[in-house]
Structure 1
Amino acid sequence: MCNYPKQSLLSKLSAIVFFLSVCATTTAFAQRDTSELKVTLPAAGKMINGKPAGKGWVNLLDTTALNLEKQYWQLNNGILHGDCNNQNQHHYSYTKKVYTDFELNVMIKMTGDEANSGVCIRIHPTDFDNAPGYQVDMGKGYWGSLWEERRASMVQKYPEELSAKLVKAGDWNHYYIIAKGHHIEAWLNGVKTIDIIHAGGFLDGNIGIQLCHGQKHTIVDVKAMYVRELK
């Protein structure tokens, strides 16, 4: 055992703590390099005939599972359809159940004039307009990003020039999302766009879809929305 002078030992310990904190911060908040738009979708995110592979998946496109405003949302023949035009309030659909750690597969299509929406996770709605929590975002300049409604705002921004190459405009797009502890990950059409540990976020909440307010017309269709809880 080495007998370092007290001050020297403290200095060494401080340096080690600083180094470890820098490493942890870099790991937690650095976005994976997606400049090559490489498909890295895990097996759990792969869809076969409109359904995710494996066991334990629960279909959320069920009137018994969702809270819906009937004037803005309809569920017919297994497809959730939302339409919001020039409204001064948001209009969310969201699960009746609260989820903690989970995987989520969503097949979604968005059309309309200046349309804006998002796949909502861990939200805490007080009504159909107010739903603080995360959105895996959708809209011009926002696809592939992580937004926290009424809280931190933009948590992780995905470059618009890259999302433009990924998004199938006016067609079906696939989000695969993992929420585990404070770690949030998401893939857009197979490419990872979100990978962050956000200590300030909710650790549980409802799952849903947003119709955004404002001078815009947002039309959303969801043909697959499956959740699998993580132990």
Structure 2
Amino acid sequence: MKLRNLLTAALALLASASCIEAAGTKKLFNGKNLDGFYVEDGTATYEVRDGAIVGRTVLGSPNTFLTTEKRYGDFELTFEVKVDDRLNSGVQIRSWSRTEPEGKFKEGRFHGPQVEIEAGPGQAGFIYGEAMGGSWLSDAPKSEDKSVNTHDYFKNGEWNKFKIIAKGPRIQTFINGHKVEDLVDKKAYKTHPEGHIGLQVHSISKKKLGDAEFLEVSWRKLKIKEL
């Protein structure tokens, strides 16, 4: 009887700890509509379909971002994403709107660190400086060594689980449980210590579009925990 009571008490403690941990995590997307978001820069379209945000390319549009109204600094962000094999995409973090006077860059466009999303083997999970001088923040994509700058953690044509942890100048990324990046960039943190989160639909060329009318990228189960 005593052993059973101890097991019951232990399970109760575990359940309580789980609830406490879950209490700090919030839904970034409510699964029903785009409340709390606005569109930045381009003319690509976004809609809610079957509990997911679906972004669709528009020929001739520049990069487009579905952007959170709220800004975030240190956080843990998780989501699932599925993207057409021919479409480049990404998730902006700590990014600034081109219309915000306190923005550190005068690019006339949305700018900040971007966690890459693309079919594998590719560079998904590495970090690019969107409108931050046109270069990667991650070192791996700069290398000619394919074993370093690409990976096959991303499952083409399927939902993929991403986790992004941003704390101070350190940004870590994971895809389907595999660590991809562990970046410490004090320069990027100095200019972008906080900002919006943005879901990117990349510009598309007629050549890449081919016979298709449009390409799509979808996100679901977006959750964030501020640290």
Same fold per superposition (TM over 0.5) = yes
Aligned to 2:118: 139
Q: Larger Rg: 1 or 2? A: 1
Q: Which moved more, 1:219-228 or 1:148-157?
A: 148-157
Q: Which runs of 5+ in 2 are unaligned?
A: 1-20, 100-107, 210-214
Work out whether residues 123 and 151 of structure 2, in 8 Å CA contact, stay in contact via their aligned partners in 1. Answer: no
> What is the RMSD of the two structures over their aligned residues, measured on CA atoms?
2.3
TM-score (norm: length of structure 1)? 0.69
Q: Give the drift of 1:130.
A: 2.4
Q: Which runs of 5+ in 1 are unaligned?
A: 1-52
Q: Distance in 1 between matches of 2:146 and 2:155?
A: 14
Paired residue secondary structure (1:166): coil
Q: Give the drift of 1:196.
A: 1.2
Aligned to 1:189: 176
Aligned to 1:227: 224
- How many residue pairs get aligned? The number is 176
Paired residue secondary structure (1:54): helix
TM-score (norm: length of structure 2)? 0.70
Matches within 5 A, 1:99-138: 99-111=72-84, 114-126=86-98, 130-138=109-117
Work out whether residues 44 and 58 of structure 2, in 8 Å CA contact, stay in contact via their aligned partners in 1. Answer: no
Cα 1:91–1:83, aligned 2, differ >3 Å: closer, same or farther? same
Cα 1:161–1:109, aligned 2, differ >3 Å: closer, same or farther? farther
Aligned to 1:203: 193
Deviation sequence 1:154-196 (CA, Å, 0-9, x none): 0113575575421110111111011111111111111111101
Q: Distance in 1 between matches of 2:56 and 2:27?
A: 22
Paired residue secondary structure (2:29): coil
One-letter code aligned to 2:186: A
Q: Distance in 2 between matches of 1:91 and 1:67?
A: 11
Q: Give the drift of 1:85.
A: 3.8
Q: Percent of counterpart pairs with the same letter?
A: 27
Q: Distance in 1 between matches of 2:114 and 2:68?
A: 14
User: Which structure carries more strand by proportion?
Assistant: 1
Cα 1:121–1:94, aligned 2, differ >3 Å: closer, same or farther? same
Q: Distance in 1 between matches of 2:88 and 2:97?
A: 19
